[in-house]
A and B are shown apart, each in its own frame.
Chain A
Amino acid sequence: MTSPAPAALRVEDLHKSFGPLEVLRGIDLTVSEHEVVCLIGASGSGKSTLLRCINLLEPIDAGRVSVEGEEITAEGVDTNRIRRRIGIVFQAFNLFPHMTVLDNVTLAPRKVLRRPVATAEAEGVALLERFGLADKRNEYPDRLSGGQQQRAAIVRALAMQPDLMLLDEVTSALDPELVGEVLGVIRSLASGGMTMLIATHEMGFARDIASRVCFLDAGVILEEGPPAQIFSAPREARTQQFLQRIIEAGRL
């Protein structure tokens, strides 16, 4: 009772290689409940791989990942049960193209949580309504704009009522004018208290929304801190270099 609540997510000394290439070289990261942590860093620094490892989509080589105190990378853990608690949204949306938006959203509640169809659909419609997609519920994904597809993908993940959301560069595949609507959705999730780990190239957004920013470089978290400190007074030379390039590209 007196011990502090376990962290929503704890990553300890995580290593992951693809063949001879070591992509993650000892990641330590803690995300507390209701915290929004942004991962920044160059392409290939390991952001996406880290998110995929946390969701058990990639087997890890060493280290451990715990969610609310339960080690999910232990032997014999039911991965399907763990994934229900962790929502992930991908850069390329990955909606199911052969299903309507509503079926995309209700598939997992119906088949995994065994919700009755009527209940799942009522909940799905309510969620779609909240994110301005209720009128698109009977459309197929390819009839939607990129921004609408990504919002639908976020709703699909939320329909499982996850404890933790992982967002993997969710605006990188969008036309610039569609980025705003998706970032708006993420902002509303953050203000609703959703615990999130966000890999992003949108530095302005990270500065606004993050409780903490982690700079990934060559498979390690080189520097982390509150956004004000990381963006205005980065300590590490590599972080300064990275941010300098972003500023030169007009992205901050």
Chain B
Amino acid sequence: MSVDRGPFARRRGREGPARAVAIAVLSSIVLFGAVGYAIVHAPNWPAVQQSFLDPEVFAESLPEIVAAFGINVQLFLIAEVLILVLGLVIAVLRSLPGPVFFPIRAMATVYTDLFRAVPGILVIYLLGFGIPGLDMPGVPNDPFFWAVVALTLVYSAYVSEVYRAGIESVHPSQEAAARSLGLSRFQALRYVIVPQAVRRVVPPLLNDFIGLQKDTVLVSFIGVVEIFRVSQNKESALFNFTPYLATAVVFLAVTIPLARLTDWLSARDRRRYLAGVAR
């Protein structure tokens, strides 16, 4: 063993950080250069370049696309607030112990099973076309309204499971300590368990929030004029696919910073946790 490790250890010892960076840069250039070369030299590259990567079309369509993104922002901000509340309520209902609460637990379970199983686009279609189609007095038929409802229903099912995992990760001794002081079960949840659970699940909640942002484009199918619908209109007006690229860039600009924030929060939590264990 030690004979085998000798030369390996020596080789590692010679590698400084500068050498590691140089190797990383070189291997990236080789890989991405090869892929780029293959694409640019594909038989139909000029045609694709013209229809997907037209700088003029990009510049012309971008302002309208960014403006339409405002609708998506409204959608996901309103829906996210509702999702965080509804998801927590469902998670708490599913965590209620004892046989008395069986029907409530069962209902919450059916809800999460149902809305995680049915594709989101179907929920959007069914609510967006189905309910206004009933023509009931007093029921809104605004597609934006039903878009918010559909996204809230679908994402609350996912988010409630995230919350539930958080609640279950809080050690039972915390509830015992709270109850031993005379706090009721609800007070123990409210002041001791849920606050700890929510802190732990912030990174996965942000992850679902990014998913929600992207899924707001699905509501274009029930007639909400948002970023995807506007880029479709641009595409048919200009006979060019570049507006979709502009749309993708807008999403990247929003979700990548959020993804980095999520990573940073997870890393910080991990450090805190490790610091706590080391004590």
Binding site for B on A (CB under 8 A): 52, 55, 57, 79-81, 83-84, 86-88, 90, 92, 94-98, 107-108, 111-113, 142, 156-157, 160
A-B contact list, 27 entries, CB within 8 Å: A57-B176, A57-B179, A80-B179, A80-B183, A81-B182, A83-B180, A84-B182, A87-B180, A88-B180, A94-B174, A95-B177, A96-B177, A96-B196, A97-B196, A107-B183, A107-B192, A108-B181, A108-B182, A108-B183, A111-B187, A112-B181, A112-B182, A112-B183, A142-B279, A156-B181, A157-B180, A160-B181
The 8 A CB mask of B132-170 against A (1 = contact, 0 = none) is 000000000000000000000000000000000000000
Q: Is A96 a contact partner of B174 (Cβ separation < 8 A)? A: yes
Q: Which residues of A contact B184 (CB under 8 A)?
A: 80
Assembly CA distance A88 to B176 (angstroms): 10
The CB with the most chain B CB atoms within 10 A, among A55, A86, A112, is that of: A112
Min CB distance A30 to B, Å, is: 22
Q: Is A83 a contact partner of B176 (Cβ separation < 8 A)? A: no
Min CB distance B180 to A, Å, is: 5
Q: Is B179 a contact partner of A83 (Cβ separation < 8 A)? A: yes
Q: Which residues of A contact B180 (CB under 8 A)?
A: 55, 57, 83, 86-88, 157
Q: Is B196 a contact partner of A83 (Cβ separation < 8 A)? A: no
Q: Which residues of A contact B196 (CB under 8 A)?
A: 96-98
Whether, in the assembled complex, B191 has its beta carbon less than 8 Å from a beta carbon of chain A, the answer is yes
Q: Is B173 a contact partner of A90 (Cβ separation < 8 A)? A: yes
The 8 A CB mask of B44-79 against A (1 = contact, 0 = none) is 000000000000000000000000000000000000
B interface majority secondary structure? helix
Q: Which residues of B contact A97 (CB under 8 A)?
A: 196, 276
Q: Which residues of B contact A79 (CB under 8 A)?
A: 179
Q: Which residues of B contact A84 (CB under 8 A)?
A: 181-182
Assembly CA distance A68 to B122 (angstroms): 63
Q: Is A94 a contact partner of B176 (Cβ separation < 8 A)? A: yes
Whether, in the assembled complex, B195 has its beta carbon less than 8 Å from a beta carbon of chain A, the answer is yes
Assembly CA distance A86 to B173 (angstroms): 17
Q: Which residues of A contact B279 (CB under 8 A)?
A: 142
Q: Which residues of A contact B182 (CB under 8 A)?
A: 80-81, 83-84, 108, 112-113, 160
The CB with the most chain A CB atoms within 10 A, among B180, B275, B276, B279, is that of: B180
Assembly CA distance A112 to B186 (angstroms): 12
Min CB distance A77 to B, Å, is: 13
Q: Which residues of B contact A108 (CB under 8 A)?
A: 181-183
Q: Is A90 a contact partner of B177 (Cβ separation < 8 A)? A: yes
Partner of A111, one of B174, B183, B195, B275: B183
With an 8 Å Cβ cutoff, the count of chain B residues facing the other chain is: 20
Whether, in the assembled complex, B14 has its beta carbon less than 8 Å from a beta carbon of chain A, the answer is no
Q: Is B183 a contact partner of A94 (Cβ separation < 8 A)? A: no
Whether, in the assembled complex, B10 has its beta carbon less than 8 Å from a beta carbon of chain A, the answer is no
11 additional contacts (CB under 8 A) given A94-B173, A96-B174, A96-B178: A55-B180, A86-B180, A90-B177, A96-B177, A96-B192, A98-B196, A107-B183, A107-B192, A108-B183, A113-B182, A160-B182
Q: Which residues of B contact A112 (CB under 8 A)?
A: 181-183, 187
The CB with the most chain A CB atoms within 10 A, among B174, B191, B276, is that of: B191
Min CB distance A251 to B, Å, is: 26
Within 8 A of A (CB), among B184-211: 184, 187, 191-192, 195-196, 199
Q: Which residue of A lies closest to B182 (CB)?
A: A84
Q: Is B173 a contact partner of A92 (Cβ separation < 8 A)? A: yes
Assembly CA distance A137 to B187 (angstroms): 23
Q: Which residues of B contact A80 (CB under 8 A)?
A: 179, 182-184
Q: Which residues of B contact A142 (CB under 8 A)?
A: 275-276, 279
Assembly CA distance A81 to B196 (angstroms): 25
Min CB distance A172 to B, Å, is: 14
Q: Which residues of B contact A81 (CB under 8 A)?
A: 182
Q: Which residue of B lies closest to A153 (CB)?
A: B177
Assembly CA distance A52 to B180 (angstroms): 9
